[in-house]
Amino acid sequence: MHVTIKTPEEQEKMRVAGHLAADVLDMIGEYVKVGASTDELDTICHRYITEVQGAVPAPLNYRGFPKSICTSINHVVCHGIPGERVLKSGDVVNIDITVIKDGYHGDTSRMFFVGKTSVQAERLSTIAYEGMWLGIEQLAAGKHLGDIGHAVQQHVEKNRYSVVREYCGHGIGRGFHEDPQVLHYGQPGTGMELRAGMTLTVEPMVNAGKREVRLLPDGWTVVTKDHQLSAQWEHTVLITESGYEVLTLGAEQR
């Protein structure tokens, strides 16, 4: 396993890429509404990334992925491909953005609600968001990967939801997906020891029902087997000498 430790110069490039990715999510929110198609959202994001930010949408043509963003609606867990699907009231959608700027990646996702959303969907999203932050709070030099997964899993399962195990967070930098894998379940004190200069994503996928998922024939879209809702939030995080720095905070959180 080769884990890259980012130099101060590389860390600054990661900050820039992270801010750009978050800015795309800040921008797209007003367009996530009843009647919009996910293809329209993809086009708006693509133009913003390439024309306004002067950056590159990392998912486009990555291992054959055909679009610039991922849009995962309702029971879609991750990697939903934008298309003709039109959003309707009650839908919940995760939008996952990764941009490349000056050779470095920023990766982040958020949940968006369309029209009037159910209490169940809002609660699921909240628990996934809280789980992500509990995982992030474990990021510090000398801690272990298992500490992250344990914090997420304990919170999610305490609230009677389940954590997807087949997909996980990851190292990130010049590469879209670098070592190590960041599982969202596990035992404290196990796994690789964390070091300052690592950049990782924490991105738990939380299901309202059982944790089992299946991959659709398109080779990308992952759905819950029981067709119950799924929610996900994601941040790119730098481990510092004193703790952590979240690189993909929205403009209002910076």
pLDDT tens string 81-124: 999 999 999 999 999 999 999 999 999 999 999 999 999 999 99
Report yes or no on 193 lying in a domain.
yes
Q: Mean per-residue pLDDT for 170-190? A: 98
Domain count, the chain: 1
Predicted pLDDT at 254: 86
Domain with residue 129: its CATH number is 3.90.230.10
Query: What are the strands, taking DSSP E only, across the chain?
Result: 56-57, 70-73, 76-78, 92-101, 104-113, 162-163, 169-171, 178-182, 199-202, 205-207, 213-215, 222-224, 230-232, 235-239, 244-246
Mean pLDDT over the full length of the chain: 98
Respond yes or no on whether the N-terminal peptide bond of residue 180 is cis (omega within 30° of 0). yes
Q: How far is CA 106 from CA 24, 27, 49, 96, in A?
A: 11, 16, 12, 11
pLDDT value at position 1? 77
CA distance 97 to 253: 18
Q: Residue 1 falls within a domain, yes or no?
A: no
In-domain check, residue 125? yes
Q: Does a structural domain hold residue 2? A: no
| Percent of the chain clearing pLDDT 90 (strictly above) | 98
pLDDT tens digits, one per residue of 58-73: 999 999 999 999 999 9
pLDDT at 84: 97
Share of the chain above pLDDT 70, in %: 100
Task: Tell me, yes or no, if the pTM score tops 0.95.
Answer: yes
| Contact between residue 16 and residue 103 where contact means Cβ atoms under 8 Å apart | no
